[in-house]
Amino acid sequence: MPRRPVRHAGVMSGASGDEWVEGPDGAKYWGRYGAAGLLVVSPELEVLLQHRAVWSHFGGTWGMPGGARHEHESAVEAAVREAGEEAGVPPSLLEVRFSTVLDLGYWSYTTVVADAAERFDPVVSDPESIELRWIAFDRVTELPLHPRFAEAWPALAARL
């Protein structure tokens, strides 16, 4: 997939996707229209990770900023919006590298990977984050990772 600059349209039209979806096995996933997360890569070969609030799903673990997609919102738009809300990620510094999709048929999660033109200071800007930190690629697995991020990390790291 060719790299492309990120354009953030601001507030998206359409209904909020902030609700749980239950799968046929009873497992619950956040995001009526699916969800997306943004893995930001710095020029120093680090990724921006979020220490998730204890009260959140898989709280206390580390993962990428992300959340529910809104109706009619693309995965890239959702990932960039959520990263801005949760970590103060400036869209103007981002260039999308690639994305991957976990599609369960009734729910999907898209990981959007973007390069940051420069390393920036992330900002804990909502209660979903305990901490935000740039982590070198080879140190990511030293943290207690969100289970789904831990599963995805080896394939993501191989592409980075």
Q: What local confidence, expressed as pLDDT, does residue 129 receive?
A: 83
Profile the chain (160 residues) by mean pLDDT over runs of 10 residues.
44 72 86 91 96 81 92 93 93 95 90 96 87 96 94 94
All domains in the chain, ordered by first residue: 4-159 (3.90.79.10)
Q: What local confidence, expressed as pLDDT, does residue 6 receive?
A: 47
Euclidean distance between CA atoms 93 and 8, whole angstroms: 11
Q: What angle do CA 87, 106, 109 make, to 5 degrees?
A: 25
φ and ψ at residue 83, rounded to 5 degrees: -65, -35
Q: What local confidence, expressed as pLDDT, does residue 7 receive?
A: 44
Could you give the 3-state DSSP secondary structure of residue 95? strand
Q: What local confidence, expressed as pLDDT, does residue 14 receive?
A: 66
Say if CB 124 and CB 132 are below 8 A apart.
yes
